[in-house]
Chain A
Amino acid sequence: MVWPELGVMASTECKTNSIRRLLVANRAEIAERVFTSARSLGIETVALYSDPDANLRYVRSADQSIHLAGSTPAETYLDVNKVLEAAVRSGCDGIHPGYGFLSENPKLAQGCLDLGITFVGPSVESIEIMGSKLASKALALRHGVPTLDSLDVTEITSNQAGEFAKTIGYPVLVKASAGGGGRGMRIVESPEQLDQSIESAKREALNAFGDATVFIEKYVQSPRHIEIQVVADQHGRAIHLCERECSIQRRHQKIVEESPSPFFDKHPELRLLMGQAAVDLAQAVSYVGLGTVEFVVDAQGNFYFLEMNTRLQVEHPVTEAVLGIDLVRIQIEVAQNRHLGDLIGDIDQSGHAIEVRLYAENPQLDWRPESGTLEKFLVPGQTEFQIGGAIRVDSGFEDNSVVSTYYDSMLAKVIAYSDTRQNARKILRKTLIDSAIFGVHTNRDLLIGILSNSDFVDGNTDTGFLVRNQPNDLIEASLEEKWLEISAVAGALVLQARERENTRAFVNTPSGWRNSRSTTQFVDFSHNEEVVRVEYFNSSDGFRIANLSQLGLESVRVISSTSSQAILEVDGRTHRFQVLALDTQVFIHSTLGLVCFGRLPRFPAGQDEISPGSLVSPMPGVVVRIEVLEGDRVEGGTVMMALEAMKMEHKIEAPITGTVKEILVSVGSQVEASQLLVVVEEEQ
């Protein structure tokens, strides 16, 4: 790193490591989270923001903000030079990297060192060693921490890989050495899939982390994922701060985390054993700051070291809740050279905390990430932590925030804390039920489904949970019968009120008035593959639903309907619905659930001119690979290109057999949903 024009910042504060002004090299909720702790220490705060993030709340909540021109992570939060320059420009003497982005990139830590800026995190060496899964495993092995056998396959032939896989036994896991979050990771069930999986994992790892190194290790079936929070100061003291269980994962991404682990009820000795192993490992690298040592634990209680994350974790709030401490504050204080002993007293794990990650995604459509304007974002009941039950919401979003396609689609972390696991679970479930999130589809109902699932209730959680329990089933199990139909009725009546409110003709005439009625009003909603039609009419006694039996309902009484709300009495129960109607989507929230209906047009849409054989992008994303050339002959089903969106790779396949006539994008193109990508001319 060369910064000739900047020189070296020399200040007396450097020596004491006292931070006066802290740059958070991150965005959204975690930036806000760090600002809060910094403020509590009297530290000034500086935010960074990319083009799409300009209007997010965290930017406003900082004392200063610096714009990073560009939209993609690579142009902005991942650009070490830009981040360091911003720190210097804003006169910061400390950088907190948050999680993700540059948090585990040694170049940032090194750059801080060079510039005399305090990096709130471990040393460059610690990051480097722990950043390599292979090196860290070797280290763990040397210090007596159990690990899974593994083989680095970057430089060896596929034969060797195959033999190794055979020795440890299928299934095996192919895994990127760098990074995390499940990217560059493949479960391989049989020898035939091995080569292909290694290749695709390498490719994904290279794209994601700039490092194609992958390795093979034994795949533990349905393990629990339990991690130990550690913290170490600059004076050689390291302690562990108990465990978090993060077994509920979708595609290797955690979505529900809790502390204590329900598994430790039966195996209390593990807290001590794994805690000690984690501390040993931290001390082996003279670790400083917050870190998390991740383990897989099998059903018998055997645990294996997985990796160490050298940063603050997304799920840190559950630890904060059960220990009653501010981890970020401790992290900053440790970076300021303070003694752990002065920062943390006795560790007293009490009560139970559960966190869920609320994502803008559709679990029923292959976890498709969603983007758009968050018209309404309300997670109610946020309170100060207190014994007896409390809710914490860490989010960077508010009403009218835009969820962009460029970054992780996590909207919020919702954390419930109470005296018992069951109470925490119930509080969290109720909070989610009461949450109204309009504008983008979320995994809210899935989270409710998980929290209601009997296995989860009993603490029988492992990483196979979402494979055994399909999202559809979880969502449906948590929903009341006919909730969709009842919501549709509410939606139809709100749309009706909205039509009447917006009309410019016969504005005062009763809705849908007829002097000779031949038919009813209707609305067609779509929900996944299903179409729900509501037929209704306005009589002198108010609205009547004409197709009750078709909807499977006995009686509906419309108590009121406005352009944003409806109150219905359905089969003797009164429900209140909040509705947000957009042109093509209608969001309906009630205690029955939150539904996003599509509005089916009444008339065939004016066809936008698209030639047959045209392929459009299924979602916003970036073109990462193009595997055909113009003029190529393709079979139906041939993979022609791949899009990456929200950490997932989506393949674009030829719909028909024919010739590639035109390719309209190139690798690296950012594409919008429904953008034309490629045209295939059908073979005659």
Chain B
Amino acid sequence: MTVLGNKVNPHSPTYLENQQAMLALIEDLESELELSRAGGGEKYVQRHRERGKLLARERIELLLDPDSPFLELCPLAAWGTSFNVGASLIFGLGVVEDTICVISANDPTVKGGASNPYTMKKAHRAADIARENRLPLINLVESGGADLPNQAEIFIPGGRMFRDLTQLSAEGIPTISLVFGNSTAGGAYVPGMSDYIVMVKERAKVFLGGPPLVKMATGEESDDEELGGAEMHARVSGLCDFMAENELDCIGIGRQIVKRLNVTRPGGWRTITDKGARGYGNLAVLGHGSLQRRSFGEPKYSQHELLGIPSSDAKIPYDPRDVLARILDSSDFDEFKPLYGTSLVTGWGSIYGFPIGILANHRGVLFSQEAQKATQFIQLANQSDTPLVFLQNTTGYMVGKDYEQGGIIKDGAKMINAVSNSRVPHLTINIGASYGAGNYGMCGKAFNPRFLFAWPNARSSVMGSAQLAGVLSIVARQAAEAQGREFDEAADQEMRSFVEAQIESESIAKFISGRLYDDGIIDPRDTRTVLGMCLEVVYQNGVAGTRGYGIYRM
């Protein structure tokens, strides 16, 4: 046990400056979240309420166990696009009848809950999380289907949702649809593909074609209730398993279904012997039947100070041990290879008693030593079935003659290889910068971390905006020289500032989150809570590392 010391002075000018910058970013984040919570805006919310309906978020809140936490994921989806922030879908991790579930709800106040391309991506992400962590998926359905003007972006890839649902079911992961309103055309298959379907009487409408379409297709006269009402589906078609009297009843039935799923232990509702002989990595931690309360100490230093630790100037790196001291149990961190490759901090700790291995950038750049150290450490975590947490703050792998000749590509490749083929769950948080191949080595989105979050100050792009503009400028200058043209300095200056502004705006956390390249932006003070929840979630599917070779000593 090694308790990290405290190097943070909360009265220093740097700290105060950092804190001020971070608070401004958090305020901005909160206003974006506010926008996502506002759904389709006051008018549509009002209209929805007048129909005696609960808002999507109210439905979720009622579905959850009282006082249990809820981690909303991808709340800023579609940020920076022409679509509403949140993409008319709300989803996250919550607890229903003591069972951790993925809960997803259409927001009918936004264009009737219609799906746009971001909605689709968000729904796919929800299904991925359910599958990777073996969590029941509960869909709270009220959607007019695809947003038709954007059908080109949705129609072909959108079928994946239906395939996901039935494949989840095939894997023994329960899927539940609670239908509160429209769920028509393609949308009808969401309940259609679920294990359990509850429909609200006189509200739910589940059909392939509504009265106008039927009239057009066959000339038949029909009404909504005949085509897809809850009564009809409960008594005639049999599509509906439970008819609810009203929305509350529907949510109550949904809870009752989860209660009877017989999810009695983390990792699944059936035996997990087929998941590999190792099964759980940490039986002592998990115990049998349910997660045991483990004793652990809270961090020794205030999580509030995470506001003043990250540099307000992205170019100034900071010591990730100051972060670890505020998120690890008892601030206890046993560092691995502390004297080697010191630009990357690796070591062991735990959060809420869940053991983890940590890789955290220290001085931004990854050199060969750092890449080798990371490779070895990732192998060790796999050997001991320990989940890995990546704290990204990197400008990428080192460039330059010495480094290229020293084999930086080979070493970087080793690290990327290790990250790619590691089987223990990875959790990534971008706490500053994630540039270049560093993003890959440090388990960026493309490397399928189980969860990826960003702090509000985070940046992600192929390189820093100034560097990128500079590179473009140099290339242009070289081209001009090669062609013997005169270089237009003024135009170059204009180009540089234009590119710099564009790259800057495309690298900020909100932009990245809007594209669903992460699972959300979090308040740094919530880092321990979020990681703790995610660790509990990943353990639902057991933790088992890659086997096959001994550890390669780099």
Q: Interface residues, chain A, CB within 8 Å of chain B? A: 495-496, 499-500, 503-516, 518-519, 521, 523, 540, 602-604, 606
Contacts and interface: CB of A to CB of B under 8 A. Distances in A.
Given A505-B65, A513-B70, 9 more contacts: A496-B66, A499-B66, A504-B98, A506-B69, A510-B69, A518-B55, A518-B61, A519-B61, A521-B66
Given A510-B69, A604-B252, A515 B520 contact: yes
A505 B536 contact: yes
11 contacts: A503-B98, A505-B291, A509-B533, A510-B529, A514-B69, A516-B37, A518-B55, A519-B61, A603-B62, A603-B251, A604-B249
Contacts of B256: 606
Contacts of A511: 67, 69
Interface in B48-78: 55, 57-58, 61-62, 65-72, 75
Contacts of B522: 515
B544 interface: no
Contacts of B530: 515
A514 B245 CA distance: 30
Residue of A499, A504, A516 with highest tally of chain B CB at under 10 A:
A516
B553 interface: no
B526 interface: yes
B43 interface: no
Nearest to B354: A508
Nearest to A538: B67
A518 B37 contact: yes
B290 interface: yes
Contacts of B231: none
Contacts of A514: 69-70, 72
A515 B69 CA distance: 9
B100 A506 contact: yes
**Chain A interface, DSSP helix/strand/loop, else mixed:** loop
B190 to A, nearest CB: 23
A499 B68 CA distance: 8
B99 interface: yes
Interface string B96-107: 001110000000
B525 interface: yes
Contacts of A515: 71-72, 75, 520, 522-523, 526, 530
B312 interface: no
Interface residues of B, number: 46
B95 interface: yes
Nearest to B453: A515
A503 B65 CA distance: 9
Contacts of A495: 66
B111 interface: no
Contacts of B251: 603
B72 A506 contact: no
B138 to A, nearest CB: 14
Residue of B69, B304, B532 with highest tally of chain A CB at under 10 A:
B69
B260 interface: no
Contacts of B529: 509-510, 513
Contact of B65 (A499, A519, A523, A606): A499
Interface in B270-293: 290-291, 293
Contacts of A603: 62, 248-249, 251-252, 255
A496 B67 CA distance: 6
B368 interface: no
Contacts, number: 96
Given A500-B67, A513-B69, A604-B249, A506 B533 contact: yes
Interface string B233-274: 000000000000110110110011000000000000000000
A509 B529 CA distance: 6
Residue of A495, A507, A514, A606 with highest tally of chain B CB at under 10 A:
A507
B352 interface: yes
Contact of B352 (A508, A513, A604, A606): A508
Nearest to B265: A504
A516 B248 CA distance: 23
A519 to B, nearest CB: 5
A499 B75 contact: no
B36 A503 contact: no
Contacts of B520: 515
A604 B248 CA distance: 7
A512 B68 contact: yes
A-B pairs, 7 with minimum CB distance: A603-B252, A513-B69, A518-B57, A509-B69, A508-B352, A499-B67, A505-B95
Contacts of B58: 518-519
B75 A516 contact: yes
Given A503-B98, A516-B33, A519-B58, A509 B532 contact: yes
Contacts of A503: 65, 68, 95, 98
Contacts of A504: 98, 290-291
Nearest to B352: A508
B101 to A, nearest CB: 9
A36 B232 CA distance: 73
A606 B251 CA distance: 12
A369 B520 CA distance: 57
A602 B100 contact: no
B523 A505 contact: no
Nearest to A502: B98
A293 B27 CA distance: 80
Given A518-B61, A519-B58, A603-B248, A507 B100 contact: no
B67 A602 contact: no
Contacts of B67: 496, 499-500, 511-512, 521
A521 B245 CA distance: 24
A544 to B, nearest CB: 14
Nearest to A509: B69
A431 B62 CA distance: 42
Contacts of A602: 62, 66, 248, 252
Interface in B334-381: 352-353
Contacts of A606: 256
Contacts of A516: 33, 36-37, 72, 75
Contacts of B293: 507-508
Contacts of B36: 516
Contacts of A510: 69, 529
A348 B387 CA distance: 83
Nearest to B75: A516
Nearest to B244: A604
Contacts of A519: 57-58, 61
A602 B255 CA distance: 11
B470 to A, nearest CB: 37
B245 A604 contact: yes
A384 to B, nearest CB: 45
B32 to A, nearest CB: 10
Contacts of B98: 503-505
A228 B66 CA distance: 59
B441 to A, nearest CB: 28
Contacts of B37: 516, 518
B226 to A, nearest CB: 27
B355 to A, nearest CB: 14
Contacts of A523: 66
Given A516-B33, A603-B248, A604-B245, A506 B68 contact: yes
A523 B61 CA distance: 13
Contacts of B57: 518-519
Nearest to B60: A518
Interface in B92-124: 95, 98-100
Contacts of B249: 603-604
Contacts of A496: 66-67
A523 B291 CA distance: 27
Contacts of B246: 604
A523 B68 CA distance: 14
Nearest to A499: B67
Contacts of B95: 503, 505-506
Contacts of B291: 504-505, 507
B4 to A, nearest CB: 20
Contacts of B65: 499, 503, 505
